[in-house]
Structure 1
Amino acid sequence: MFDVLIIGGGNAALCAALMAREQGASVLLLESAPREWRGGNSQHTRNLRCMHDAPQDVLIETYPEEEYWQDLLKVTGGLTDEKLARLTIRASATCRDWMRSHGVHFQAPISGTLHVARTNAFFMGGGKALVNAYYRSAEKLGISIRYNAAVDALDIDNDGRFLAARIGTERIEARSCVLASGGFESNREWLREAWGQINGEWVADNFLIRGTRFNMGVLLKFMRDAGADMIGDPSQSHCVAIDARAPLYDGGICTRIDCVSLGVMLNKNAQRFYDEGEDFWPKRYAIWGRLVALQPGQIGYSVIDSKAIGRFMPPVFPGTKANTLHELGLLLGLDPVAFVHTIEEYNAACRVGTFDHGILDDCHTEGLTPAKTHWAQPIDQAPFYAYALRPGITFTYLGLKVDERATVHFDGKPSANLFVAGEMMAGNVLGKGYTAGVGMAIGTAFGRIAGTEAANAAGFSRQKKNNQEKVRNGDA
């Protein structure tokens, strides 16, 4: 029997496994994906949002706790547990040295249109390199790893104590367990249930999945049905408007289109439906998937002109290009008259001051609904470009309610040996909305907490380990 069982194979699961092993516990990690697809959504990430009160290695200037908290409060609209959010924020300030000790490398600060050189630490080689580094460290430390190991049920006693995990007829016992197997974003039926229908059509049928195809929410649903305390709205998620030509699964970050704030966004009726210049793109990119999901046919069109070229991260695929607005509307399959009218109405409303995409500038619209509050410039310089966008689900926010020890609860009572980390509990901090890098901050913070607590529940702690070493060395 292993001391600690980790169910999941992404960042949170790996952090938990490594921390439990560092405590001296024997650890088995079960990853539902095959080895080549290991890592869950973490393989598609690229950075970690970090609090810091002074310049630190790869982070410039400062990003204090209160500013981080206010950024999170703003994007969630207050749907966040402040205690757990601040725990995450503070943990983000001190985790990088530990990450480096397990082979993760960070790249030099970046600048430009992403505006995150101050707030986010980027992984050298992206999330795939991070995941691979953690797996190498896990193997070196003697953590046992099984792939293609999809757990479908747990044995839990009446007091909420974990007894064993089940893979079909196989039963795997352990002294404690960490659940970190992700949300349900790849489960189309559950997405349909969560989002319902508009005009007789299932909204979720037009969703693309930015991340792994293996997050089916099997254990999340099992825990819900077993009476675990839940938190979050099943329709809330990290949902980004991505290139409509993206693959159904695993498109990752490269499918994102980052020019929305430089132009206008239209629905299939050629109408604008939200303020494209509300705030900096890293704080607003994750609202656009949900906004597009609520539009007819779950599709939107980001329209820019030549002035925007070079001011945003170039997408993988070129946009639709035309020399006139009328032609562009036709190429997009929209009513060209309505399309041109909307653009001309927007152009007439623009009040251009000093354009600066690096700040919340004074370029705005007047007398237009919805307004564009920053970076409003007429779309009048040919050639013109457009990108069709669909909702891209990264991970869902429905999860298990936890405390600061990452403990699973049943009717308000904490389990003695069952813990949770990552997407399965992110809804405690993210009731809605998103800001770049906070998902990895949650997974890292609570993965490390859950691993430590699981080792403690199995009878291991750093103090106990130190005492054992003193005995062996004749010092006690």
Structure 2
Amino acid sequence: MVDVLVMGGGNAALCAALMAREAGASVLLLEAAPRAWRGGNSMHVRNLRCMHDAPQDVLVEAYPEEEFWQDLLKVTGGKTDEALARLVIRASGTCRPWMRKHGVRFQPSLSGALHVARTNAFFMGGGKALVNAYYRSARALGVQVRYEAPVDRLEMDGERFVAAWVGGERITARSAVVASGGFESNRDWLRQAWGQNAQGEWPADNFLIRGTRFNTGVLLKQLMDLGADTIGDATQAHMVAIDARAPLYDGGICTRLDCVSLGLVLNREARRFYDEGEDFWPKRYAIWGRLVAQQPGQIGYSIIDAKAVGRFMPPVFDGVQAESLPELARLLGLEVGQFTATVAAYNAACRVGQFDHTRLDDCHTEGLSPPKTHWALPLDTPPYFGYALKPGVTFTYLGLKVDASTAVRFGGQPSPNLFAAGEVMAGNVLGQGYTAGVGMSIGTAFGRIAGARAANAAGHASDFEGVDHVAA
């Protein structure tokens, strides 16, 4: 028997394992993926959203708690637990020294990420380097790691964790942490959640999965069946509009299209359906997957002209290019008359002021529905480019309801020795929407707390200074 069993292999799981081991607990981490694919969705991340009251190493200016909170409140539409959200925000301001101690390195943001240079700390080498650093540190500290070890079922005694089963093997532990992600790779569950639309389509059949294929929600489903308290909507997710040519799994961040705010987005009927210039892209990019999912055929088309080139992170695939708008419509398979009429109406509605893609400028439309609030420049300069878009699911928000202790709850009663961290409980903070880097903030904060609490439940006193005063 080990002291602490961690189920999962991404950022939250690793933070939990490291914290528990630092407290003196023996730790076994079970990763469902093979070693080459370890790390879950964390291997695809780039940065961590961080509160700071003054410039700090790679972070410029200041990003105080209240601004972070207002950003989160806006993107979630109020669907967030303020106490838990503020716990994450405060923890984000103190976690980087601990991360560095375990080998994580940071770098200044690149020119293509200027909007988050103040708010987000970027990982040197990206998420894969972060995951590898944590695994190296875990090995050095004596954390046992097993790959290709998916937990098939849990054994509980009421609210108390007893054992986990991997195939026919029964693994007991004094306490456990569930950090096994959402259910985004479970196509049947996605179909059940989204159902059929008015056109008789099953929208989930057209979703691509930006991250790992191993997040199938097995433990989440079993805990739900055992009566664990849940939170969130099964259709809500970190869902991004990505290149329709992306692979089914593990396309990662390079499949994202970042030119949406600089042009127009049309559905397959060549009509606009949302304000492309509503806010800075890092605050709004994660609504566009859901918007596209609600369109016929779950497909959209991002249209820009030559003026936008060089003002966004270059996509991994070249767009369709044409010297005229009718030609672009034909190449994209869109009805030419409606396409040109949509663009003409937009061009006529543009009220161009001082264009500046680095701020909320005064270039907007008048008399157009939906409006374009910022960065509204006419599409009139060839060549023109078009990118087909599909919904790309990163992680789902339906999850386990927790409090600041991260204990899994059953009928309102907290488990004495089963804790949850990361995407499997992120819905407590993210009821909808997303802002860049906050998933890593959630996973890091709750992963560290869960590991310390699990060590305590196994009889080891944790010296993590953040658990008692942040999570009280």
Tell me the TM-score range normalised by the shorter chain: over 0.9
Runs of 4+ in 1 over 6 A off after TM superposition: none
The structural deviation recorded for 1:168 is 2.0
Structure 2 counterpart of 1:468: none
Partner of 2:393, secondary structure, is: strand
Structure 1 counterpart of 2:224: 224
Partner of 2:107, secondary structure, is: coil
Q: 2:213 corresponds to which letter in structure 1?
A: R
Structure 2 counterpart of 1:175: 174
Q: 1:96 corresponds to which letter in structure 2?
A: R
2:319–2:387 Cα contact (<8 Å) kept: yes
Partner of 1:389, secondary structure, is: strand
TM-superposition CA deviations, 1:356-378 (whole Å, max 9, x none): 00111000000000000000000
Aligned: 1:256 with 2:256 = yes
Structure 2 counterpart of 1:355: 355
Structure 2 counterpart of 1:142: 142
Structure 1 counterpart of 2:469: none
Q: 2:180 corresponds to which letter in structure 1?
A: S
Q: How does 1:318-333 map to 2 (within 5 A)?
A: 318-333=318-333
TM-superposition CA deviations, 1:274-322 (whole Å, max 9, x none): 0000000000000000000000000000000000001001001110000
2:27–2:143 Cα contact (<8 Å) kept: yes
Q: 2:191 corresponds to which letter in structure 1?
A: R
- Distance in 2, Cα, partners of 1:118 & 1:460: 38
2:210–2:249 Cα contact (<8 Å) kept: yes
Q: How does 1:215-294 map to 2 (within 5 A)?
A: 215-294=215-294
Structure 2 counterpart of 1:417: 417
Structure 1 counterpart of 2:470: none
Aligned: 1:300 with 2:281 = no
TM-superposition CA deviations, 1:214-243 (whole Å, max 9, x none): 000000000000000000000000000000
Aligned: 1:55 with 2:39 = no
TM-superposition CA deviations, 1:103-122 (whole Å, max 9, x none): 00001244455400100000
Identity of aligned residues (%): 75
Q: 1:437 corresponds to which letter in structure 2?
A: G
Structure 2 counterpart of 1:68: 68
Q: 1:76 corresponds to which letter in structure 2?
A: T
Q: How does 1:111-190 map to 2 (within 5 A)?
A: 111-112=111-112, 114-158=114-158, 160-190=159-189
Partner of 1:155, secondary structure, is: strand
Structure 1 counterpart of 2:367: 367
The structural deviation recorded for 1:462 is 3.5
- Distance in 2, Cα, partners of 1:110 & 1:51: 19
- Distance in 2, Cα, partners of 1:307 & 1:56: 35
TM-superposition CA deviations, 1:326-381 (whole Å, max 9, x none): 00000000001110110011000000001000111000000000000000000000
Structure 1 counterpart of 2:94: 94
1:110–1:116 Cα contact (<8 Å) kept: no
Gaps of 5+ in 1: 465-476
- Distance in 2, Cα, partners of 1:271 & 1:288: 15
- Distance in 2, Cα, partners of 1:309 & 1:463: 51
- Distance in 2, Cα, partners of 1:172 & 1:155: 10
Structure 2 counterpart of 1:193: 192
- Distance in 1, Cα, partners of 2:261 & 2:365: 13
Q: 1:262 corresponds to which letter in structure 2?
A: L
Q: How does 1:304-453 map to 2 (within 5 A)?
A: 304-453=304-453
TM-superposition CA deviations, 1:45-96 (whole Å, max 9, x none): 0100000001011100000000000000000000000000000000000000
- Distance in 2, Cα, partners of 1:112 & 1:154: 45
2:455–2:462 Cα contact (<8 Å) kept: no
- Distance in 2, Cα, partners of 1:67 & 1:114: 18
Q: 2:166 corresponds to which letter in structure 1?
A: I
CA RMSD of aligned residues (A): 0.9
Q: 1:335 corresponds to which letter in structure 2?
A: E
1:29–1:146 Cα contact (<8 Å) kept: yes
Structure 2 counterpart of 1:14: 14
Partner of 2:344, secondary structure, is: helix
Structure 1 counterpart of 2:459: 459
- Distance in 1, Cα, partners of 2:279 & 2:145: 43
- Distance in 1, Cα, partners of 2:52 & 2:152: 41
Structure 2 counterpart of 1:469: none
1:113–1:311 Cα contact (<8 Å) kept: no
Partner of 2:20, secondary structure, is: helix
- Distance in 2, Cα, partners of 1:304 & 1:201: 29
Structure 1 counterpart of 2:467: none
- Distance in 2, Cα, partners of 1:168 & 1:113: 44
Partner of 1:329, secondary structure, is: helix
- Distance in 1, Cα, partners of 2:259 & 2:110: 19
The structural deviation recorded for 1:200 is 1.4
- Distance in 1, Cα, partners of 2:369 & 2:429: 32
The structural deviation recorded for 1:101 is 0.3
- Distance in 2, Cα, partners of 1:330 & 1:109: 38
Q: How many residues align?
A: 463
Q: 2:334 corresponds to which letter in structure 1?
A: L
Q: TM-score, normalised by structure 2?
A: 0.97
TM-superposition CA deviations, 1:170-195 (whole Å, max 9, x none): 10000000000000000000000111
- Distance in 2, Cα, partners of 1:224 & 1:111: 44
1:113–1:358 Cα contact (<8 Å) kept: no
- Distance in 2, Cα, partners of 1:66 & 1:122: 22
Task: Give the direction of change, closer, same or farther, for the CA distance of 1:117–1:327 in structure 2 (3 Å limit).
Answer: same
- Distance in 2, Cα, partners of 1:450 & 1:366: 51
TM-superposition CA deviations, 1:9-40 (whole Å, max 9, x none): 00000000000000000000000000000000
- Distance in 1, Cα, partners of 2:109 & 2:329: 40
TM-superposition CA deviations, 1:118-156 (whole Å, max 9, x none): 000000000000000000000000000000000011111
Q: 1:298 corresponds to which letter in structure 2?
A: Q
